Amino acid sequence: MNDEIFLNEPVKVIATFSGGHHPCKPVMFKRANGREVRVSELGLRHPLPNGNKTIHAFDVTDGGTDYRLQFDSELLTWHLTMEADHYEQN
Amino acid sequence: MSKTEFNEERPLIMHIDLNSCFATVEQQARPMLRGKPIAIVNRRTDHTAIITASYEAKAMGVKVGMKLREAKLLCPDIIALESDPSKYKFVYHKLLDIMRDYSAHVTMKSIDEGIIDFHNTSADIAGRDLVEIGLEIKQRLKDEIGVWMRCNVGIATNRFLAKTAAGLHKPDGLDVLTSQNIIETLGELKLTDLTGIASRNQKRLNSVGIFTPLQFLDADITTLHKVVFKSVVGEWWYKRLRGWEVDDVETRIGRVGRQYVLERFDLTHTEVLQRLHHLCESVGSRLRSQNLSARGVYVYAKSSEHGYWHSSVLTPLPFYSDQSIYAQAQHLFKKAPDSIKEIGIHCYELGPVENDQISLFADQITRERHVVEAIDVVNKRYGERTLHSADTLGTGIYVNQKIPFGSTRYL
């Protein structure tokens, strides 16, 4: 079974900006409850359709849980919009 | 087969196929899913059909098109994920960008496969070994999208054999088909492994004693033309199997449409019409994005009691607004049966939008055109369906945009 939780939680994010094929990489984020999550891998970064405004979706993992972070390039805000923490057998 | 019949030119057609594309992209995006059996569905219900299964799920017998309920019997651990078209669109554009670095002649056949034609490329590219380029593209997919990405590459003298080659060693193959290995390769395949040979064509071939691809290759052109396919299609097959290009043809848009399997099978007629209206808005938007108008509307409904029902109308004047499409679809739907499970609509008799057309209804048409243009501008600026008809207010969560199979025009 797929245990996805959909959220719209504002988060604080530390990200690196550099060159290469993946110029922006979230490294760590802090959730509303104070918990800090260290990103071990950026799975995929892709834009989300939203008219002329670009929202970047970053699918990341900390090695135990998959997360989606969304960056609003107009407002410069980050939100945690999905958490899938384990995949139980049916 | 004598060797002179086979196209002996240098193989310059490369077919690239991201097999199990949507499942692979999900595993790339979500590392915790890697190595696990997953299925991509449009709606996470037991009666939904599987769009794509990961290689791990396929190894357990899960097939595309199978109901999720059946898949769970074969593979109880299967993880069902709802499709996420924006991810697949992103990967499609990345793949297209990579392919275009090697040739100006790139054709995407669908969201997950495309062809590079290396005829008339730059001297730098033309001088390189295509196998080396194929390997480089595989590596670039990993570098530029992510480490889990894989693709199959096939190289041959025509599109058909390049696609056949790409299917030989899934999920990460690279094969070249030439006159040197065509017999050996076809000898290992079934007729239905060949693209374009499904049950109907298989029956036609079987009826003249052709049961294997090698027998198909040995068949003479007259038999294929006059007895098996009874048309020029037989001649095309004769050439296709020998590496001559017959599939380099541009397809014209014949119709623009959408369909929807209802989320519940007990919806009222009004609720069905709301979903039909949503589909009409989607079709209108697609039509206008290609700068086309239509003269025909075709609607259908699949009913549990009455089977397949359809109706259509052809008008003298072209139209392209959501309102015109829905008005006609709604009128046709008055005769639709009860117990509907699936609905669909398409517009046909397409042509370019002609703004300077004079008609008796010129004022009305001009007014309608201005309203439609204003709506499209707002939706482009602020996002799809920012403005839409009031009666589709609650349908968005059900009839949202899904993956456009086949055509890549709307990606």
Q: What is the pLDDT of residues B305-359, one digit of tens each?
A: 889 999 999 999 888 899 999 999 999 999 999 889 999 999 999 998 876 555 6
**B407 within a domain of the structure (yes/no):** no
One domain, residues B224 and B283: no
Q: Using pLDDT thresholds of 50, 70 and 90, give the confidence band for residue B43.
A: confident
Catalytic positions of B: 113
Q: Which residue of A has its CA nearest to B78?
A: A1
Residue B397 placed within a domain: no
pLDDT of residue B408: 66
pLDDT at B405 exceeding the cut of 60: no
What does the pLDDT average to over B355-383?
78
Q: What is the mean pLDDT of residues B117-122?
A: 93
Residue B168, sorted as left (phi over 0), alpha (psi -120 to 50) or beta, turns out to be alpha
Q: Do A21 and B144 touch (CB under 8 A)?
A: yes
**Number of domains chain B contains:** 3
Q: Is residue B96 part of a domain?
A: yes
Instruction: Classify residue B275 by burial, with Cβ atoms within 10 Å: 0-12, 13-18, 19+.
Output: buried
CA distance B260 to B267: 13
What mean pLDDT do residues B177-185 have? 95
Do B142 and B19 fall within a single domain?
A: yes
pLDDT at B3: 41
Are residues B201 and B265 located together in one domain of the fold? no
pLDDT at residue B349, as a whole number: 93
pLDDT above 80 (res B193): yes
Looking at the structure, tell me whether residues B155 and B105 fall in a common domain: yes
Number of A/B CB contacts below 8 angstroms equals: 70
- Quickly state the pLDDT bin for B4 (edges 50, 70, 90): very low
User: A44-48, A61-65, B35-39, B250-254: which has the minimum mean pLDDT?
Assistant: B250-254
Domain membership flag for residue B380: yes
Residue B81 shares a structural domain with residue B201? no
Count other C-beta atoms under 10 Å from residue B37's C-beta.
Answer: 22
Which CATH number covers residue B103? Answer: 3.30.70.270
CA dist., res. A68 & res. A82, Å (int): 5
What share of residues in chain B are helix, strand, coil (percent, to 5)?
A: 40, 20, 40
Both B377 and B322 in one domain: the answer is yes
Q: Do B87 and A44 touch (CB under 8 A)?
A: yes
Same domain, B239 and B283: no
**Amino acid identity, position B18:** L
Q: Which of A36-45, B30-39, B263-272 has the lowest mean pLDDT?
A: B263-272
Which one of A5, A40, A42, A44 would you mutate to disrupt binding with B, by most B Cβ within 10 Å of its Cβ?
A44
Closest to A49 (Cβ–Cβ): which among B32, B33, B384? Answer: B384
The 10 Å CB-count burial string (b at 16+, else e) for B238-248 is bbbbbbbbbbe
pLDDT in tens, A9-45: 999 999 999 989 999 999 999 999 999 999 999 999 9
Instruction: Name the residue range of residue B335's domain.
Output: 256-392
Q: Could A51 and B36 be called an inter-chain contact, meaning their C-beta atoms sit closer than 8 Å?
A: no
Angle between helix B232-241 and B159-166 (nearest 10): 60
Residues B203 and B217 in one domain: yes
Residues B140 and B164 in one domain: yes
Of B136, B160, B178, which residue is a domain's last? B178
Is position B398 within any domain? Answer: no
Strands B13-17 and B38-41, by their bridges, are unpaired
CA distances in angstroms from B74 to B123, B126, B134, B400, listed in the order given: 52, 48, 35, 30
Q: Are strands B152-156 and B174-176 parallel, antiparallel or unpaired?
A: parallel
For residue A43, give the nearest of B72, B81, B146 by CB distance. Answer: B146
**pTM of the model as a whole:** 0.85
Q: Looking at B250, B282, B301, which one is the last position of a domain?
A: B250
Do B323 and B244 share a structural domain? no
Rounded to the nearest integer, the mean pLDDT of chain B is 90
Phi, psi of B268 (to 5 degrees): -75, 165
CATH number at residue B384: 3.30.1490.100
B221 in the same domain as B142:
no
* pLDDT band (50, 70, 90) for residue A52: confident
Residue B127 near residue B121 (C-beta atoms within 8 A):
no
Inter-residue contact B51 to B64 (CB < 8 Å): yes
CA atoms of A2 and A11, how far apart (whole Å): 24
- Tell me if B141 is assigned to some domain: yes
In a domain, B59, yes or no: yes
A15 in reach of chain B (CB within 8 A): no
pLDDT, position B406: 56
The encoded tokens of residue B218 equal 């040995």
Of B155, B178, B201, the domain-final residue? B178
Please report which confidence band the pLDDT of residue A49 belongs to, taking 50, 70 and 90 as the band edges. confident
Q: Which residues contact B330 (CB under 8 A, 6 or more apart)?
A: B273, B276, B277
Show residues of chain B in contact with A89, CB under 8 Å.
76-77
Least confident residue range of A70-84, B298-312, B318-332, B359-373: B359-373
| pLDDT value at A89 more than 60 | no
B155 and B140, same domain (yes or no):
yes
- The total of other beta-carbon atoms located within 10 Å of residue B68's CB is 19
Within a domain: B88: yes
Cα–Cα distance, B134 to B126 (Å, whole number) = 13
What CATH number is associated with residue B237? 1.10.150.20
Q: Which residue reads 């059946």 in tokens?
A: B70
Report yes or no for ipTM above 0.90: yes
Stretch B102-110: mean pLDDT, rounded?
Answer: 94
> What is the C-alpha to C-alpha distance for residues B389 and B93, in angstroms, rounded to an integer?
32
